[in-house]
Amino acid sequence: MTTGKEGSEKMTEMQEMQEIHRRAHAVLVLNAILDEIQRQDSVNEEGYPATRHGVRLGLANAEDELREAYDNWKLYKLSGNYDPVAAELVQCAAVIVRTIREIRNG
């Protein structure tokens, strides 16, 4: 059993390890989104121009990807396999980032 300073140091070490773990997962997620952005850019170079119609298209595509994620969640919720949900959410995030990129650069 740890007490006093030794116990608080252990907790700090545990918290540091948890933070490292969270950051590592964040990097993996961000890399997946960046890969998906690159894939989408290669398929559709125009993207979502910062115009009335371009932004609407980006929003509609993001909404479609989010609905697909929700549909996958309904299909897989009992199995606990959320990989298809995550894949759709990555696609949704990529569409959103591409839309924001065009708005900021447009």
Report yes or no on 16 lying in a domain. Answer: no
Q: Nearest 5°: CA angle at 67, between 61 and 73? A: 140
Report yes or no on 88 lying in a domain. Answer: yes
Euclidean distance between CA atoms 47 and 37, whole angstroms = 10
Contact 36, 90 (CB under 8 A): yes
What does the mean pLDDT of the chain come to? 92
Report yes or no on 23 lying in a domain. Answer: no
**pLDDT above 80: residue 10:** no
For residue 63, give both structure tokens.
């909404």
Report yes or no on 78 lying in a domain. Answer: yes
Per-residue confidence band for 16, with pLDDT thresholds at 50, 70 and 90: very high
Residue with more model confidence, 7 or 80: 80
Predicted confidence (pLDDT) per residue in 52-61, tens digit: 999 999 999 9
Report yes or no on 58 lying in a domain. Answer: yes
Report yes or no on 22 lying in a domain. Answer: no
Mean pLDDT, to the nearest integer, of 79-100? 97
Domains in the chain, number: 1
Res 60: pLDDT: 98
Domain range enclosing 70: 49-106
Contact 89, 48 (CB under 8 A): no
Report yes or no on 69 lying in a domain. Answer: yes
Report yes or no on 53 lying in a domain. Answer: yes
